[in-house]
């Protein structure tokens, strides 16, 4: 099997990194998030330059963990503690204020997908659904749409690698963003699979620009948290958004 390190898919790269004696060390969602953080220096949403990606990881690690040099800052424990406390207070004060919430960029695009799950997938997740739908895919999409909009249950078996997990994740996002359902539960076969699916959904909320444009009342606040979950309890500005958040 030949491997081109300059054009590798994020999922394949995650599998390669997890193939050593260390076992699972990353996930496709984490690779995608890192690629977005690094920008076009290491690739895009479909292809990754592994060598550039490795160099970026090393540089990021060094910038975060390199020891201080003389004259670079306080050296005593008390001084470091005071500096950290002051920085945290500044970040806390800044992070709580997120108003004003941006306006919806494409209201027509958003409205067109409200009751159409297939269009929602094609519009907001083109990198996840790059192939044509099969007849079986369309049947599953129709069942998911009916279950989300009108309720009900169904069981569906699909071959491995046919996109069933991705469809389930996107169905949850669709139900949440349009408030089709007030409580959404996605269950994985194992705890690790459940965490992986949750991580994948978080990545879409944090990195999908189309979702940010059309669902700012939901996505903008998540972006401003920057994965610092403690900020959520004190975030100010959400009430500044005049549009509806939930279905009556």
- H/E/C letters for each residue in 50-98? HHHHHHHHHHHHHHHHCCCCCCCCCCCHHHHHHHHHHHHHHHHHHHHEC
Shared domain for 126 and 232, answered yes or no, is: yes
Q: Which helix (H) or strand (E) holds 172?
A: helix 164-177
Structural domain includes residue 88: no
Shared domain for 55 and 160, answered yes or no, is: no
Structural domain includes residue 33: yes
CA distance 91 to 95: 6
Shared domain for 114 and 215, answered yes or no, is: yes
Shared domain for 216 and 131, answered yes or no, is: yes
| pLDDT given for residue 238 in this prediction | 44
CB-based burial label for 78 (10 Å; 0-12, 13-18, 19+): exposed
Structural domain includes residue 233: yes
Shared domain for 123 and 229, answered yes or no, is: yes
| pLDDT given for residue 246 in this prediction | 39
pLDDT in tens, the chain (248 residues): 677 877 888 888 888 888 888 888 888 888 888 888 888 778 876 888 888 888 888 888 777 666 555 555 555 556 667 777 777 776 666 656 666 888 999 999 999 999 999 999 999 999 999 889 999 999 999 999 999 999 999 988 888 888 999 999 999 999 999 999 989 999 998 999 999 999 999 999 999 999 999 999 999 888 887 766 665 665 554 443 344 443 43
Instruction: Note whether 49 and 42 are within 8 A (CB).
Output: yes
Length of the chain: 248
Structural domain includes residue 15: yes
| pLDDT given for residue 248 in this prediction | 35
Please give the C-alpha separations between residue 208 and each of 55, 155, 201, in angstroms, as whole numbers: 25, 30, 10
Instruction: Note whether 110 and 214 are within 8 A (CB).
Output: yes
| pLDDT given for residue 69 in this prediction | 55
Give the total number of structural domains in the chain: 2
Shared domain for 130 and 233, answered yes or no, is: yes
115-139 burial, b for 16+ CB within 10 Å, e for fewer?
A: eebbebbebbbeebbeeeeeeebee
Shared domain for 45 and 140, answered yes or no, is: no
Shared domain for 123 and 213, answered yes or no, is: yes
| pLDDT given for residue 193 in this prediction | 92
What is the residue range of 162's domain? Answer: 107-240
| Close Cβ partners of 213 (under 8 Å, ≥ 6 residues apart) | 104, 105, 106
Shared domain for 139 and 51, answered yes or no, is: no
| pLDDT given for residue 181 in this prediction | 93
Structural domain includes residue 1: no
Structural domain includes residue 86: no
| pLDDT given for residue 91 in this prediction | 66
Structural domain includes residue 20: yes
Shared domain for 138 and 227, answered yes or no, is: yes
């Amino acid at each position: 099997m030949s491997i081109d390190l300059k054009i590798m898919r994020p999922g394949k790269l995650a599998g390669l990194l997890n193939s050593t004696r260390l076992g699972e060390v990353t996930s496709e969602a984490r690779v995608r998030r890192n690629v977005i953080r690094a920008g076009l220096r290491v690739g895009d949403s479909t292809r990754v330059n592994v060598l550039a990606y490795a160099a970026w990881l090393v540089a990021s690690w060094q910038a975060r963990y390199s020891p201080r040099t003389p004259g670079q800052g306080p050296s005593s424990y008390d001084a470091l503690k005071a500096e950290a406390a002051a920085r945290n207070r500044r970040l806390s004060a800044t992070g709580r204020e997120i108003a004003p919430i941006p306006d919806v960029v494409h209201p027509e695009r958003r409205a067109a997908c409200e009751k159409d799950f297939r269009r929602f997938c094609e519009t907001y997740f083109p990198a996840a659904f790059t192939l044509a739908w099969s007849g079986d895919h369309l049947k599953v999409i129709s069942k998911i749409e009916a279950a989300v909009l009108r309720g009900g249950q169904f069981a569906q078996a699909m071959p491995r690698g046919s996109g069933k997990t991705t469809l389930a994740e996107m169905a949850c996002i669709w139900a949440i963003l349009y408030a089709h359902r007030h409580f959404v539960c996605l269950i994985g076969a194992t705890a690790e699979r459940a965490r992986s699916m949750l991580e994948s959904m978080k990545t879409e909320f944090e990195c999908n620009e189309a979702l940010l444009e059309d669902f700012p009342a939901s996505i903008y606040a998540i972006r401003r948290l920057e994965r610092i979950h403690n900020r959520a309890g004190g975030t100010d500005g959400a009430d500044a958004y005049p549009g509806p958040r939930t279905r009556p």
